[in-house]
Amino acid sequence: MRGSTMYRGITTVAGALAMFLWIAPAVAAAAAGAASAEPALLHATLHADQPGPKIDRNIYGQFAEHLGRGIYEGLWVGEDSKIANTRGYRNDVLAALRHIHVPVIRWPGGCFADDYNWRDGIGPRAQRPVRVNSIWGGVTESNAFGTHEFLEFAELVGARSYLSIPVGAGTPLAMEQWLEYILSDSQSTLAQERRRNGRDAPFKVDYLGVGNESWGCGGQMRPEHYVDEFRDYTAFVRAPAGQMPKIVASGAADDNYRWTEVLMADPVVTQMPLWGHSTEAISLHYYSTPSDDWNHKGSATGFTAEEWARTLSKALHMDELIAKHSAIMDKYDPERRIALFVDEWGAWYDQELGSTPGFLYQQNSLRDALVAAVTLNIFHAHAERVRMANIAQMINVLQAMILTDKEKMVLTPTYHVFDMYQVFQDATRLPLEIEAGSYVLGKLQLPQLSATAARGSDGVVHIALANLDPQHSASLSIAVAGLAVHSVNGRVLTSAAMDAHNTFDEPHVLEPGAFNGASLHGSQLVVGLPAKSVVVLDLH
């Protein structure tokens, strides 16, 4: 997958009051203020009495592919491992994922899913066939982690399951039989086989992805061809009453708007009137990179200020992509019944020196925390249409939540942002008009601030603020309308170094701390944001 080649500015979206950032008209004054010892005071207005759409908890979804050490050594070590585990799943990883309330997990890929044979991953592990993972590194795939292991893992975490099925190298019959094996409570041969393999009651599949990147590793298809395949496959999605998974069509990468147009123009995709079920969503994949050269993307650490700014500019481009894909979807689905699932996103760098080729292992720094915050803020701004997202990937791959090395585990800065942002899961978005200021570096000009606000299920109003400028602090005055605020507290994630990160020897270098930079002055909330920081405030 490729990131955009250049940041194209901030795109306005429907509902200007709900828009989370905009560049101030007085760019020169803002830039001068940013360079001074005392930053210019920026202004914002929070409309706590104007509730918007729900921020779906599934926006905080995860993605686990058979890639590198994402599955093996990452979440699965086997029952006989010396590493503490529950039925083969790492206890430390389980605890960490439960703590951030992971809502949904997508598996087995990604490109790995495109030619996955589900029968390879069932039955006694010692008897499962060993294959070659020709997609990622050419290493052997033991199939020790298969259908039972994934669905049981989702249950242990407390997450919904998102199953990606092969289309390019698969068949509708294989999909139909896989679903029968998983879902049937009958006395059929496949249901009995599942019982013999240790699971009496049916599993649950919440979401079914029909193909993955069908324009690329999933078959090099034209959108018209994929639509025909989608029609064929969905005709054979059979499930017992009350067990029908929600269907996700394989959508576009980046700015391939024609793919979205062709999918949405097809009545079977948008309505599916014959089969008793309907399309829940189409997907979108997009990655942020520091460089336009895909073969030399840049390092995850030790990067320059320009690489910092370029990576964040690519992350900000997500707003334009979602806005334009959504506009196409609005033509065919004005009620916004069909969602847009950004089921692969994140920062992609050159893999770490010395790591196994094709494993996509990379460190995770404060820059990635800002990428995560900016992207989540954008998802919130498009909550009417974006109702799931799955960061790539959960463990040891790309912009991971968690890194492991044998018995050691470390939580990344990205994990800590997901932890701080938990309060936004299923929260009600609130309009926040904000003067974002400017962060200028050479020819790159970005908003200095990215922000979002919502009322949590507990009634508390939360504001998240990200200062993208790695050198200058920001001062923000927020007028709070429709809410009498008596106290404010919060957490902050920041460091003196742009590439601050946690290692196995020093796992606590970058963690959230108490934030004391917010004060109340009547109905005004004044916030001082450190350079390169993410802050989440709770208004009581």
Residues that are catalytic:
213, 344
- Inter-residue contact 376 to 423 (CB < 8 Å): no
Among the residues of 24-100, which ranges form H helices? 27-35, 91-99
SS3 label, residue 319: helix
- DSSP 8-state secondary structure symbol assigned to residue 471: S
Residue that the structure tokens 């990205």 belong to:
414
Q: Of the candidates 437, 434, 455, 456, which has an alpha carbon nearest to the alpha carbon of residue 447?
A: 437
Residue that the structure tokens 């995709």 belong to:
269
Q: Rg of the chain's alpha carbons, rounded to an integer?
A: 23
The burial of 132, by beta-carbon neighbours within 10 Å (0-12 exposed, 13-18 middle, 19 or more buried), is given as exposed
Helix or strand run (H / E) with residue 434? strand 432-434
Helix or strand run (H / E) with residue 152? helix 147-157
- Determine the Cα–Cα distance for residues 378 and 51; give it in Å rounded to an integer: 17
Tallying the residues shown for the chain, one arrives at: 540
Q: Of the candidates 62, 105, 56, which has an alpha carbon nearest to the alpha carbon of residue 379?
A: 56
Q: Which residues of 63-97 are buried (b: 16+ CB within 10 A; e: fewer)?
A: bbbbbbbbbbbbbbbeeeeebebeebbbebbbebb
- Determine the Cα–Cα distance for residues 281 and 270; give it in Å rounded to an integer: 9
- Determine the Cα–Cα distance for residues 369 and 419; give it in Å rounded to an integer: 11
- Residues sharing a CB contact under 8 Å with residue 91, sequence separation 6 or more, in sequence order: 84, 85
The beta-strand segments (E) located in 116-234 are 131-133, 139-141, 160-165, 207-210
Other beta carbons within 10 angstroms of residue 457's beta carbon come to 13
- Inter-residue contact 182 to 203 (CB < 8 Å): yes
Q: Which residues of 393-403 are buried (b: 16+ CB within 10 A; e: fewer)?
A: bbbbbbbbbbb
Helix or strand run (H / E) with residue 281? strand 279-288
Around 231, how many Cα atoms within 13 Å sit in the side-chain half-sphere? 13
Q: List residues bridging with 285 in a β-sheet.
A: 253, 344
Q: List residues bridging with 450 in a β-sheet.
A: 466
Other beta carbons within 10 angstroms of residue 442's beta carbon come to 9
- Determine the Cα–Cα distance for residues 444 and 51; give it in Å rounded to an integer: 35
